[in-house]
Amino acid sequence: MFVVGNGTLLDEMREMVRDKGYNIVFTGRVSDQELARLLRESWVNLHFSVTEGWGYSVIEACASGTPTVAFRVPGLVDVIQDGYNGYLVNNISEFPDRILDIIGNLDRFSRASREFAERFTLDETARKWSQMLRGDGVPE
């Protein structure tokens, strides 16, 4: 398992697994190229944030064909279609079953994840911005 990035709980996480014999690599911050490689080679992206403005990292994972399991919170409910490109959970105890379901159906979830990410094109983004700026309401 790779834990990518930095955060307020990173030191505590390292301490929790020290001397347990788990195969966990704490990478810290990585380059964009390294992140893309890790996402491509992963079976599942685990997203433990309980607050999120927009799930950009989930879209990155989807573009690599990697589904995500995350908490059902604003921002992530916009980028994970439960049971399609990953799962949304209400508590941490739901993670293991959802991870195993994805691994057991990896081809389906990987394909759906890539299909989901393909919706986020530059042309589609420009169309939505144009619609909002014209005052035509919030785009769907």
CATH numbers and ranges of domains, the chain: 31-133 (3.40.50.2000)
C-beta contacts of 72-77 below 8 A and 24+ residues apart: 73/49, 75/51, 76/47, 76/49, 76/52
pLDDT band at 125 (very low <50, low <70, confident <90, very high): confident
- pLDDT score at 138: 67
Judged against a pLDDT cut of 80, whether residue 139 lies above it is answered with: no
Q: Which helix (H) or strand (E) holds 45?
A: strand 45-47
| Cβ atoms 20, 30 nearer than 8 A | no
Averaged pLDDT for residues 48-74: 92
pLDDT band at 51 (very low <50, low <70, confident <90, very high): confident
| The model scores a pTM over 0.95 | no
